């Protein structure tokens, strides 16, 4: 399977699925056992947990995971949005949440109960990987580190502001102001510690950004146009980002 053009973000393997305690569970009696084993092996041989506790899947056996043909899996990979892909030494990984979403769609429109049940079985294996003890612990460590990092970034960026105003609305900053990432930590974790990848905004501004599910500079810029907010940050952000390439 040809991989799509990768994202600029790099995914770092913390645990392979084979290192997690995810045992093969016997399928219902009406299942073909060899098919169930194939689904289990596809997950275990292509999934991994990164250093943020997020699960990723290499697409080499996606057809077995999704219970579709190789050509169908290829089309899914090619049409997967950029933010759901990451590069690694092994190839391009797909975000687990996107694979899980596709499985949910298949379950609800499978066409036959047999395909629906196999897709549900596949979904249960992916969920077991996501909810494994090591993955959960890694996410807990990541949450704590991100909270501390954001506190430090807020302090550091505040020192650069004169006058101290909301960098998007130009309104006076309240004591409850926050450091709001331009590229979100969840989608672009490797940029989460860069002070230039964020703006100091009031809580109401940050709440709107969150409510609108803004996760990158282009969506934030569009929101700024809609709200008649400041857009000067965009050029500075792009300049800093270009230094990484």
Q: Over the stretch 52-102, which tens digit does the pLDDT of each residue have?
A: 899 999 999 999 999 888 888 888 888 888 778 887 777 889 999 999 999
pTM of the complete model: 0.74
Instruction: Encode pLDDT of 20-51 as tens digits.
Output: 999 988 888 889 999 999 999 999 999 999 98
**CB–CB of 93/11 below 8 Å?**
yes
- Mean pLDDT score of the chain: 89
- What is the three-class DSSP state of 107? helix
Can you tell me the distance from the alpha carbon of 178 to that of 180, in angstroms, rounded to the nearest whole number? 6
**pLDDT for position 243:** 86
Percent of the chain as helix, strand, coil, to the nearest 5: 55, 15, 35
* C-beta contacts of 196-200 below 8 A and 24+ residues apart: 196/236, 196/237, 196/240, 197/237, 197/240, 198/153, 198/157, 199/157, 199/167, 199/168, 199/233, 200/154, 200/157, 200/158, 200/161, 200/164, 200/166, 200/167, 200/173
| 202-226 average pLDDT score | 96
CA 51 – CA 143 distance, rounded (Å): 11
For residue 155 the two structure tokens come to 């302090």
- Tens of pLDDT, residue by residue over 89-137, are 778 899 999 999 999 999 999 999 999 999 999 999 999 999 999 999 9
- Domain coordinates in residue numbering, the chain: 13-131, 145-242
Q: CB–CB of 118/111 below 8 Å?
A: no
The Cα 7–Cα 187 span in angstroms is 11
């Amino acid at each position: 399977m040809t991989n799509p053009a990768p994202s600029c973000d790099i995914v770092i393997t913390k645990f392979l699925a084979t290192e997690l305690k995810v045992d093969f569970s016997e399928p219902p009696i009406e299942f073909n056992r060899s098919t169930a084993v194939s689904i289990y092996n596809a997950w275990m041989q292509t999934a991994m947990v990164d250093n943020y506790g997020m699960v990723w899947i290499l697409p080499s056996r996606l057809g077995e995971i999704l219970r579709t043909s190789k050509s169908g899996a290829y089309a899914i990979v090619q049409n997967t949005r950029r933010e759901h892909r990451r590069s690694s030494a092994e190839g391009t990984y797909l975000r687990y949440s996107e694979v899980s979403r596709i499985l949910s769609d298949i379950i609800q429109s499978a066409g036959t109960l047999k395909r629906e049940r196999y897709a549900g079985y596949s979904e249960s294996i992916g969920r077991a990987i996501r909810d494994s003890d090591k993955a959960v612990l890694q996410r807990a460590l990541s949450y704590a580190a991100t909270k501390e990092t954001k506190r430090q970034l807020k302090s550091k960026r505040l020192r650069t502001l004169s006058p101290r105003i909301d960098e998007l609305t130009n309104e006076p900053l309240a004591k409850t102001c926050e450091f709001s990432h331009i590229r979100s930590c969840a989608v672009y974790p490797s940029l989460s510690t860069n002070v230039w990848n964020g703006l100091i905004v009031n809580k109401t501004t940050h709440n709107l950004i969150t409510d609108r599910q803004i996760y990158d500079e282009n969506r934030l810029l569009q929101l700024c146009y809609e709200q008649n907010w400041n857009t000067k940050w965009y050029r500075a952000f792009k300049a800093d980002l270009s230094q990484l390439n």
